[in-house]
Amino acid sequence: MEAASFGAGRAGGGFDPVEFLKQPQTILRILSWVFSIVVFASIVNEGYINIESPELHCVFNRNESACNYAISVGLIAFFACVFFIALDIKFPQISSVKDRKKAVIVDMGFSGVWSFLWFVCFCFLANQWQRTEKKREVDQAADAARAAIAFSFFSIISWVLMTLKAYQRFQLGTDMSLFATDQYGTGANAGYPGHPTGSGIESTEAYQSPPFTENADISPKGYQAPSY
């Protein structure tokens, strides 16, 4: 299908699941979805440990904010990926150019913001992990902590790439000829309809000589020159 309006053709076309899954944008969303699961699941399952007390503490230097932040960013990214995948499926069926533009702007804006939030998450977790005391309890959750840090970094890359893909779709704009074909010819190379005009050559039969010039005599009839 020819891309004509923000990366999609005219509304009403069929949906091909295989082609949809092959799109780079879809692959990036699925990868981002998986990365988000790894981040928040690693922390929820093994990110809280008992360190010299019966209470559970965050493995990242006992900083509860670090765990809470990573879980929040990961969960929102998880649901956002599901939402945007559904939007991508519906996008070719959107007939309004304005609605398509709004959808692309939302995608671009959200992806840009989440790229930054993932960057903050990666820096926050890595910094707190460096400050964490190495104890037996911490070692038991070390793999989960490293996985959360690594996939936070991978998420930065995937969300930046999704931002760029959304920006490319926004730059494509709209080929308005798809939405105003009634004003043009049906052929692929048909031009604008011309205004009806004449042949551009005037007929000689319609031409009339100026008055008082046709068959003019030198001397008027009935006049005689006087003799002297």
- CA 123 to chain CA mean position, Å: 28
What pLDDT is attached to residue 76?
97
pLDDT (average), residues 90-117: 91
Q: Provide the whole-model pTM.
A: 0.71
Q: Where are the domains of the chain?
A: 34-171
| pLDDT for residue 183 is more than 50 | no
CA dist list (Å): 188 to 177, 184, 185, 193, 223: 11, 10, 8, 14, 76
> Residue 87: exposed, middle, or buried by beta-carbon count in 10 A (0-12, 13-18, 19+)?
middle
Q: What is the DSSP letter of 172?
A: H
**Range name among 15-29, 65-79, 108-122, 181-195 with the lowest pLDDT average:** 181-195
Strand partners, 48: 58
pLDDT(42) > 80: yes
pLDDT at 151: 97
